[in-house]
């Protein structure tokens, strides 16, 4: 298997030849070649119901991916397929599933897919079968969660737990928080929610204090998440919580569990009710399907719900093994993103879920994508000559419409859009106003925005002119339920993975976050007044009151 820079492939040259003069969407719309969906690239002028119906790929969990409003024709798709084949994307995915070391920076395996079920060969580390290890941990924290939910495990006062608070940061917070919020209304509606979940992440003391102040600590279980057991922000917040528990006359050891690695200081530690384990092969931003997300989700909604979530992700992982771009939604999404990033020159993409339940999903995808593929060197440390991962941002609809859509519709930059929508609400609690239910109004807004972005509007008043030709995709489903959520999560994880393989990146490390941590430690080690010896660092530390 070969790992080469994308611009060294024949397909890259072919794709470059397809870019119209000017290399932007305004010129691309004037290309009139037959598309794979029976239309033409100028979808702004010829987007039809037939194209919308044909440009759709089934996903796991009852979802579908629709790319009718993308600037891609048959020639583009053929060239993207050639790029996938030449870069051996499916073979590289299989190697990852088989436990090969694909991360040359940290020289480790990448095994988050194994958390949701075996797709490759058995993966053994020393004498440990990692697939069996992950299954055993899943069963351990499933039993623990069931016992907490039933009242068999209680706090120091003897009261059953009503709340669970996760203490973590980065991937130990963003993904689990987004998944919890995504299932909260569904869990309430379906009688699955037992514990309310809360999250503390920021080292800012106002975060922990604000979360804890309304809670009854004697009814609250804390889930401390740190793979290394040394994360500064997380340990600071743990001490904050322990101090509050002690002041309330409660034994912290009866109110804390840990999610960590077996080699960390938190492992096998009597200071916790129990500890559940992951390892170095599970990156933080890919850990929602591990104990990192599994403990809090199982406490809140029950182990069976978490396993439904895993099944949706596993089904999506299996579908991602399909080599035909027309049948593999995550591969197609990834390659269309490469087309937009590298050949149409769009550096930003927006994730726009028309579901309040997914309000924190864009924040999770921001970390997933930008921490994975925000790299300027390849797997061998060589500087790249092409753009890599885009800037990712987003907000749930219709809130975003009243915030930044002005920029998206009439701004000078074109931003590809990733819409997500569902036919039904989670709570099934609605009211008819002006002849339609609110859920219908929500989806009417979504349909209208896709067409408005694509077609625009001509107007002699240039303030009211909409240029259109803003490309978008749509992931749709019946309802946001656990399996659908697992599918949605795995879709984006696999999309990011495939793009990293195309660009020849180490997508599974995050060296870019380390320097700030090192300098922070340097400042804190000298905050007695002596300073750090670095003039500029000391100057800012003095301004911020770190150094007296």
In whole angstroms, give the CA distance from residue 381 to residue 371. Answer: 17
- 460, with CB counted inside 10 A (0-12, 13-18, 19+), is exposed
Give me 524's structure tokens.
Answer: 């804190």
Tokens of residue 540, six digits: 């800012």
Active site residue 371: yes
517 tagged catalytic: yes
Residues 6+ apart with CB under 8 A from 375: 384, 388, 389, 503, 505, 506, 507, 512
Distance (Å) of CA 315 to CA 198, 218, 312, 332, 476? 29, 40, 5, 17, 17
Contact by Cβ (8 Å): 155, 250: yes
Other Cβ atoms closer than 10 A to 432: 9
Q: Is 97 exposed, middle or buried (0-12, 13-18, 19+ CB in 10 A)?
A: buried
> Buried (b) or exposed (e) across 326-363, using 16+ Cβ within 10 A?
eebbbbbbbbbbbbbbbbbebeebbbbbbbbbbbbbbb
Tokens at residue 335, please?
């390659």
Q: Would you state the structure tokens that stand for residue 511, as one six-digit string?
A: 């060296």
Nearest to 141, CA basis, from 260, 248, 8, 26: 260
The per-residue b/e assignment along 122-148, b for 16 or more CB within 10 angstroms, e otherwise, is ebeeeeeebbebbeebbebbbebbbeb
Cα 360–366–371 angle (5° rounding)?
Answer: 140
Element at 225 (helix H, strand E): strand 220-225
Angle between helices 74-86 and 329-338 (to 10 degrees): 100
- Active-site position among 86, 315, 371, 395: 371
Q: By CB neighbour count within 10 A (0-12 exposed, 13-18 middle, 19+ buried), where does 413 fall?
A: exposed
493 is catalytic: no
Of 32, 121, 402, 464, catalytic: 402
CB atoms within 10 A of CB 58: 11
Host H or E run for residue 141: helix 130-150
How far are the Cα atoms of 104, 227, 228, 237, 520 from residue 204, in angstroms, in the given order? 35, 21, 21, 9, 14
Residue 207: CB partners within 8 Å, gap ≥ 6?
200, 201, 237
What is the Cα–Cα distance from 523 to 471, expressed in whole angstroms?
Answer: 46
Q: Alpha-carbon Rg of the chain, whole angstroms?
A: 24
Instruction: Give the start-end residues of each E strand in 53-167.
Output: 56-58, 64-66, 124-125, 128-129, 163-167
Query: Could you count the other beta carbons within 10 Å of the beta carbon of residue 54?
Result: 15
Query: Which residues does the annotation mark as catalytic?
Result: 371, 402, 517
């Amino acid at each position: 298997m070969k790992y080469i820079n994308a611009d060294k492939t024949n397909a890259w040259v072919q794709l470059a030849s397809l870019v119209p003069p000017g290399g932007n969407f305004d010129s691309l719309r004037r290309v009139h070649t037959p598309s794979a969906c029976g239309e033409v690239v100028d979808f702004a002028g010829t987007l039809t119901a037939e194209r919308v119906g044909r440009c759709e790929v089934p996903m796991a969990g009852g979802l579908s991916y629709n790319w009718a409003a993308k600037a891609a024709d048959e020639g583009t798709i053929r060239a993207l397929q050639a790029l996938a084949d030449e870069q051996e994307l499916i073979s590289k995915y299989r190697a990852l599933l088989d436990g090969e070391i694909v991360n040359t920076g940290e020289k480790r395996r990448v095994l988050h897919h194994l958390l949701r079920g075996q797709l490759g060969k058995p993966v053994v580390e020393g004498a440990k079968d990692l697939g069996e290890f992950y299954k055993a941990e899943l069963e351990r924290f499933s039993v623990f969660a069931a016992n907490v939910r039933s009242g068999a495990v209680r706090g120091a006062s003897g009261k059953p737990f009503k709340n669970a608070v996760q203490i973590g940061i980065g991937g130990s917070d963003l993904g689990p928080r987004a998944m919890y919020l995504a299932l909260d209304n569904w869990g309430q509606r379906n009688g699955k929610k037992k514990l309310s979940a809360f999250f503390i992440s920021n080292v800012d003391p106002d975060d922990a204090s604000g979360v804890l102040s309304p809670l009854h600590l004697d009814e609250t279980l804390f889930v401390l998440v740190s793979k290394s057991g040394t994360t500064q922000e997380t340990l600071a917040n743990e001490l904050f919580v322990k101090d509050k528990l002690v002041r309330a006359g409660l034994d912290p050891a009866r109110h804390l569990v840990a999610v960590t690695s077996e080699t960390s200081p938190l492992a096998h530690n009597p200071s916790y009710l129990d500890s559940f384990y992951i390892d170095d092969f599970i990156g933080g931003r890919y850990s929602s399907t591990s104990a990192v997300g599994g403990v809090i989700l199982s406490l809140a909604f029950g182990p069976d719900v978490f396993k439904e979530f895993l099944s949706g992700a596993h089904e999506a992982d299996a579908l991602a093994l399909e080599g035909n771009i027309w049948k593999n939604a995550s591969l197609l999404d990834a390659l269309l993103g490469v087309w937009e990033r590298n050949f149409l020159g769009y550096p930003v993409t927006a994730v726009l879920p028309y579901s309040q339940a997914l309000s924190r999903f864009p924040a999770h995808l921001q970390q997933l994508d930008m921490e994975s593929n925000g790299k300027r060197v390849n797997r061998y440390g060589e500087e790249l000559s092409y753009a890599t991962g885009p800037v990712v941002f987003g907000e749930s609809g219709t809130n975003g419409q009243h915030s930044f859509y002005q920029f998206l519709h009439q701004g000078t930059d074109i931003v590809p859009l990733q819409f997500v929508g569902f036919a039904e609400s989670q709570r099934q609690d609605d009211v008819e106003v002006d002849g339609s239910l609110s859920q219908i109004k929500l989806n009417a807004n979504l349909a209208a925005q896709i067409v408005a972005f694509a077609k625009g509007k001509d107007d002699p008043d240039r303030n009211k002119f909409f240029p259109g030709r803003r490309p978008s995709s749509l992931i749709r489903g019946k309802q946001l339920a656990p399996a659908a959520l697992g599918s949605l999560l795995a879709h984006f994880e696999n999309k990011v993975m495939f793009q990293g393989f195309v660009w020849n990146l180490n997508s599974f490390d995050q060296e870019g976050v380390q320097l700030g941590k090192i300098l922070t430690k340097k400042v804190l080690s000298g905050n007695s007044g002596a300073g750090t010896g670095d003039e500029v660092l000391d100057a800012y530390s003095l301004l911020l009151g770190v150094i007296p």
